[in-house]
Each structure stands twice: as C-alpha cells, then as structure tokens.
Amino acid sequence: MTTHTAKLYIVATPIGNMEDITLRAIRILKECDVIICEEFKPARRLLKRLEIPDKELLAINEHNEKAEADAVLYRMLQNNESAALISDCGTPVFSDPGATLIARAVEFGITVIPIPGVSSLMTTLSVLDFNPDSFLFGGFLSRDSAERQRELFRLKKANLPVVLMDTPYRLGAVLADAAKVFGKGRQATLACDLTTRQERILRSTLGELLTRMDGKKAEFMLVIHPYLG
C-alpha cells in the first residue's frame, strides 16, 4: 500500500494589522510546497510583507472551488506535497471558500491541520461588555431586504446575542433592517475596521448606530445584544 505525506494546512492571516500574524503561520507559509489562496493579489501582497519569495500560488475561490478542488488534491497526493490554504484575510472557511476543499481532502485521506490565528468573530466577541456564553452567528444574510428581515425575525426568537457581518457597502442596510426587526432601542456593539488604524468599536442602540453610520462604509461585525426585559 502506497503511503503519502500530503498535508493541508488551514492558515489564519491578519485581518488588518500585519503584526497579528503568528510565528507558526509564517513558518508554515515558508515551508509548504504551495499556497492555495482566494485571490492572487492579496496573497502576493501578504507574502511580500512576510518576505516569502517565489512561492507557487493556486487560486481556489467561490467561483471555481467545486471544479478545481479535486485537481489540486490529486496533485498534492501524486507529489506528496503540503499546501497552505489562506483567505484574503482572517481565518479560512469562516464566511470564505474552503469547505469543499477540506471535505474532499478528508475523503482523500489528506491530513488537515489548523493553524489558528486572527478571526474577526473572536476579535469582536473579546471586546463585548457582557459575557456571551452562547450566541447565534447569522453571518452574511440575504442581500434582499425583505428576506433579510425574515431571517432576522427567526434569529430574534432565540433571544441570544446575534452576530452579523456583511460587505462594507451594506452596513447601512443591515443596520436599518436590524433596527426594524429588533427595535431602534435594542443595544448593540458595532466593530468597524478591526485591527486597523481606523478601528472603531461603537456601543449604542441600533437606532443611534444607524444615525451615526449614515452613508458610511466599513468592514464590520455587528452584535445585537439579547433583550434583558
């Protein structure tokens, strides 16, 4: 029986501040045979900042993951290669591509190894002014406002902290729909542009946040606090 040493590392990278990269992540990125990235440009920028030259890059993203995953894994097996999966920033698979690649790697018998690091979710939870023993991660909701409100109503029923994220240009729309469903007076924490020089952590009501952020764009995580009565 032929054995292989192929390994797939899931490597977390900084979400804004390059100093957040871990020593282990740097070592793995240097030692692996190939890096599987979401997009070439952010990956090349990261490797340049880390002074890691001449590393082969393969692109796996939402558009080609199902079609390309097997080809990448077959290559790893044939050449006994190790690969590092990174996203444009943060922890791969968390609201990013990679789940299909990992599922197929497990089926192929390839060892999958997490290299933990920065996560926008955990970064946000770490600065809450209450203890989120449990919470609901809503993530990216529907782009359609009516459907998004229906999804928010379902999340509201649990009366747990609800964590949402979306693209910067939908910040206002998400706040508006959240205020409609949960009420303008519901307390919330809005974390914007985490770990960057523009970082802002705002603690207020949904109504006040909507007014304050009117027209503004930012990478964000929104935590809607539970109703305390």
Residue 94 has what pLDDT? 83
Residue 142 has what pLDDT? 96
Q: Which CATH number fits domain 121-224: 3.90.330.10, 3.30.950.10, 3.40.50.1860, 3.40.50.10800?
A: 3.30.950.10
Distance (Å, whole) CA 38 – CA 36:
7
Mean pLDDT of successive 10-residue segments in the chain (229 residues)?
A: 80 96 98 96 96 93 90 94 96 89 95 96 96 94 97 96 97 98 98 97 98 94 92
Residue 1 has what pLDDT? 42
Q: Which amino acid is at 43?
A: A
For the chain, domain boundaries? 7-117, 121-224
Residue 3 has what pLDDT? 62
Residue 27 has what pLDDT? 98
Both tokens assigned to 221: 């995580």
Residue 18 has what pLDDT? 95
Instruction: Give every CB contact of residue 41 below 8 A, 6+ residues apart in sequence.
Output: none
Residue 14 has what pLDDT? 97
Residue 60 has what pLDDT? 92
**Residue showing tokens 């060892």:** 111
Residue 166 has what pLDDT? 96
Q: What CATH number labels 7-117?
A: 3.40.1010.10
